[in-house]
Structure 1
Amino acid sequence: MIDTHAHLDMLKSEEDVLESIEKLDYIITIGCDREEILKAVKLAERFENVYASIGFHPYDVNDIDDRDLDNLRNLAIENRKVVAIGETGLDFYRDITPPDKQKYFFERQIQISKELELPLVIHSRSADKKTIEILEKYYPYPASGVMHCFGGSIDMMRASVEMGFYISFAGNVTYPKADNLREVLKNTPLTRLLLETDSPFLAPQKKRGKPNKPSYIYYTLDYVSSLLGIDKDRLENIIDQNAKKLFKIEKYENLTVDKILD
């Protein structure tokens, strides 16, 4: 199983990190600010089955400038275990970062992902219309991307799929009040479906109230399998193949970390 979005550096203990590494085939760990970006890359260097996606979260763009984007670009070029740009995007749920600043840095990171031909990991909260508007401005996306921890409408899902993006669902799809999210999930094409934990956030219902970790993705897989009426092993295979295709991680199989970093 592949967890396509986790913040390994935020897990509560080294034991949780090691357990996750052991129980999953691959993990994409995410760096969202200056410090976390470096931590994500170091974790990818440390563990053979961990890869990194690096970018600036919309809440973390207040104190960055174009030099930070240059550093981001260079790091992605220099390290082949960086497989995506992001998470980046828009978040209008809380008044933390000015919308204009969010839009500027979102667009700049889109440009970096397109230049480097790396997929884009997109965060969008309470910003469906503007997110799609910006993405359509830069269409097409040869390297594709993913709408991480999807929480938008069916219309947003369909517009994203139309542009070639994958749709990733996290543990909150298992919550009792998530009927709208489950309706979107049931309408998402299997060829565009991904699962994630967003660890240490959004633990699935059976572990709700506890810090999330990548190994909990199996609870979400069980739930989605039942919801869609698809055999669990078959669904896992579909999701894993989608993830490998998006992040192109199968090309690194059977390579040691030393070889990858040569």
Structure 2
Amino acid sequence: MIDTHAHLDMLKSENDLYESVDKLDYIISIGCDKEEIYKAVDIANRFENVYASIGFHPYEIKGITEEDIQNLKKIAEENRKVIAIGETGLDYYRDITPKDLQQEYFIKHIQIAKELNLPLIVHSRSANEDTVKILRDFAPYPASGILHCFGGDIPMMESCVDIGFYISFAGNITYPKADNLREVLKRTPLDRLLLETDSPFLSPQKKRGKPNKPSYIFYTLEFAADLLGISPEELERITDNNAKKLFRIKESKVTI
């Protein structure tokens, strides 16, 4: 099983880290601030079956400079375990970062991803229209990308699939009030579907109230498979194949 989005440096303990690395085939560790980008790369270099994606979350860009952006690009160029750019994007849910600044730096991340031919991992919250507009403005994306922890509606999903992106769902699809997300999941083409934990956030319902970790992805897998009317084994095969294609993962897992 592949967890396409986890903040491994934020897990509760080293034991949780080792357990997750041992139980999953691959994990994409996300770095999305000035410190976390280095932590994500360090963890990826410690474990053969962990890779990194680096970027700046929209809430983190108020203190970001052009020098930081160029450094981000340099880190991605020089580290073979960095296989994507992000998470980046737009988040209008809280008034933390001006919208125009978010959009400016979202575009800078898009440009880096395209220059390096790497997938783009997109965070979008309460910003459906602007997220889709910017993605469309800069299409096509030869290396594709992900709408991570998808929280939009069916039209947004369809728009993102149309420009070649994958749609990733997290543990919040298991929440009682997430009927809208479940409807989107059911309409998402299987060849564009991914699963993630967004650890340590968004624990699935059976573990809600506890910090999330990648090994909890199996709860989300079982829930999603039941919703789609297929076996967990089949859904795991589908989502893992999608992730391997997107991230160009070919090597076998090394036992830790």
Report sequence identity in percent: 69
Equivalent in the alignment of 1:67:
67
Q: Runs of 5+ in structure 2 lacking a partner?
A: none
Equivalent in the alignment of 1:195:
195
Equivalent in the alignment of 1:13:
13
Instruction: Return the alpha-carbon distance in structure 1 between the equivalents of residues 172 and 101 of structure 2.
Output: 28
Instruction: Return the alpha-carbon distance in structure 1 between the equivalents of residues 185 and 234 of structure 2.
Output: 17
Within 5 A, what are the aligned runs for 1:250-261?
A: 250=250, 252-253=251-252
Alignment CA distance shift 1:141-1:12 (3 Å): same
Equivalent in the alignment of 2:118:
118
Within 5 A, what are the aligned runs for 1:16-35?
A: 16-35=16-35
| Corresponding position: 1:145 with 2:142 | no
Instruction: Return the alpha-carbon distance in structure 1 between the equivalents of residues 102 and 253 of structure 2.
Output: 39
SS in 2 for 1:123: strand
Equivalent in the alignment of 1:235:
235
Equivalent in the alignment of 2:184:
184
Equivalent in the alignment of 1:166:
166
Instruction: Return the alpha-carbon distance in structure 2 between the equivalents of residues 16 and 33 of structure 1.
Output: 22
**Cα distance per residue 1:26-73 (max 9 Å; x no partner):** 000000011000000000000000000000000000001110010000
Residues 7 and 31, structure 2, Cα contact 8 Å, conserved in 1:
yes
Equivalent in the alignment of 1:127:
127
SS in 1 for 2:76: helix
**Cα distance per residue 1:4-36 (max 9 Å; x no partner):** 000000001000000000000000000001100
Counterpart amino acid of 2:129? K
> How far did 1:249 drift?
1.6
SS in 1 for 2:237: helix
Q: What is the TM-score normalised by the length of structure 1?
A: 0.96
Instruction: Return the alpha-carbon distance in structure 2 between the equivalents of residues 255 and 234 of structure 1.
Output: 23
Instruction: Return the alpha-carbon distance in structure 2 between the equivalents of residues 255 and 217 of structure 1.
Output: 20
> How far did 1:216 drift?
0.1
Instruction: Return the alpha-carbon distance in structure 2 between the equivalents of residues 249 and 141 of structure 1.
Output: 19
Equivalent in the alignment of 1:259:
none
Equivalent in the alignment of 2:81:
81
Instruction: Return the alpha-carbon distance in structure 2 between the equivalents of residues 71 and 151 of structure 1.
Output: 30
Aligned length: 255
Counterpart amino acid of 1:199? S
Equivalent in the alignment of 1:246:
246
> How far did 1:254 drift?
7.2
Q: What is the TM-score normalised by the length of structure 2?
A: 0.98
Q: Runs of 5+ in structure 1 lacking a partner?
A: 257-262
Within 5 A, what are the aligned runs for 1:34-73?
A: 34-73=34-73
> How far did 1:253 drift?
4.0
Equivalent in the alignment of 2:92:
92
Instruction: Return the alpha-carbon distance in structure 2 between the equivalents of residues 53 and 207 of structure 1.
Output: 26
Alignment CA distance shift 1:206-1:71 (3 Å): same
Instruction: Return the alpha-carbon distance in structure 2 between the equivalents of residues 241 and 226 of structure 1.
Output: 19
Instruction: Return the alpha-carbon distance in structure 2 between the equivalents of residues 150 and 99 of structure 1.
Output: 20
SS in 2 for 1:177: coil
